[in-house]
Amino acid sequence: MKVGLIGVGALGSLFGGALAKACYDVTLVIRNEEHRNAICAGGLKMVLDTSDSIVNVPVIAPTEPHDPFDVMFVFTKTGATVAAINAVLHMIADSTCLISVQNGLGNHDVLARFVGYERVIYGTTTAPADLIGPGHVASHGQHLTQINAAREDSAKIAMQLAEMLCTADIPAVVNNEIDQVIWSKVAFNTAMNAICALVIGTPGTIADSEHLSNLARAVVMESCAVAHADGVAIDPQNVLAIVEMAGREHRTHKPSMVRDVIAMRRTEIDALNGAIVALGKKHNIPTPLNEALLALIKGVEAQYEKNH
C-alpha cells in the first residue's frame, strides 16, 4: 500500500515517521521548504518515550509530480484542507482513500467532496506531537488513534490502516461509534486548546491551577450539552477523565493552538469553539463560555498584524 501524507507538521511527521520506521511505503508531501530540506538532508529525527531515532523517509513538495497514492492522510489545519487537497489532486486516483484525524467537526464531509464518502476514513487521535525544529519531532505519553470508514466500501482498508499504525507503535483501533469519539475530542479541545492558547500554557498548566481546571471542566460540560442537543450522546465524565489524563501524561505538550498563537498563525478556533457556538444557537443551548473563548482567541488573532 502506497501511503501519502499532506499537511505534514508535528502530527504528520509523527505518523509518517513511525510508518516509515516500520518499513511501510510512505511519502511525506511537505510544503514547508525548511522542514522538507532538513528531512532530505539528515532524515527525520524522532524523540519518543521508547527511543530516539533518525528515520529516512521520502519527501516531496506538493507541486512535484508523483504517482497517485493508495491512501492519503490529511493532517492540515481544518481551514486549509480544501486548498491542500487541490494542490495534490495529481496524487489522488479514482481508488485513493483520504484519511482525516483532524480536529473539529465535519472533516469527513470536506474530504467526501473530493473522493465521495465511500473512499473516506475519518476519526481522531490523542497522540501529542511537537515539532522541535525542522526535521525534528517529539511525542511523549500514552495515546490512542480511533478511525472508521464513512461507508462500508472502505471498511477493510480502515482495518488495515489500524493494523499498520499499531505495527508502527501508534496504538489504533477501528471504532464504529466514531462520531461519539470525535465529539468527545471536540469537547476536550474546546477547553484544552483554547485555554492553553490564551495562557500560553500546557495541559500541566491547567492541571496545576484550580481556576483553570474549574474553567476547563465547565467548558467541557457546556460543549457536551450541545453534543446531546445535536443527537450525539457523549458522557461528560469520560471527557473530563481525558482532561485529567492530559494533565498527567501530556503535561509539557504544547497544543496546536498554542503553537499557532506563538507563531501568529490563524487557529482552528472556528472548527472547535466556533462550531459549538453555532450549534448552540441552532438548538437554543446557551454557550457563554465557548462564546467568550471564541471572542478572546479572535481578539488575539486580530493583534497579529499590529504586533508583527
Question: Annotated active-site positions, please?
Answer: 185
Asked if residue 220 lies in contact with residue 190, where contact means CB atoms within 8 angstroms, the answer is yes
Measured between alpha carbons, how far is 300 from 264 in angstroms, rounded to an integer?
9
Return the beta strands (E) in 89-158 as ranges.
92-100, 120-125, 130-133, 136-138, 145-149
* Pairing status of strand 172-174 against strand 145-149: parallel
3-state secondary structure of 116: coil
Name residue, grid cell 476536550. 188
Residue 24 exposed, middle or buried by CB count within 10 Å (0-12, 13-18, 19+): middle
Q: Which of 77, 45, 44 is closest to 58 using CA atoms?
A: 44
Measured between alpha carbons, how far is 276 from 215 in angstroms, rounded to an integer?
16
Measured between alpha carbons, how far is 153 from 161 in angstroms, rounded to an integer?
14
Asked if residue 220 lies in contact with residue 236, where contact means CB atoms within 8 angstroms, the answer is yes
Measured CA distances, 11 to 100, 106, 165, 185, 213 (Å):
12, 19, 13, 16, 26
Measured CA distances, 36 to 6, 82, 232 (Å):
12, 21, 40
Asked if residue 5 lies in contact with residue 25, where contact means CB atoms within 8 angstroms, the answer is no
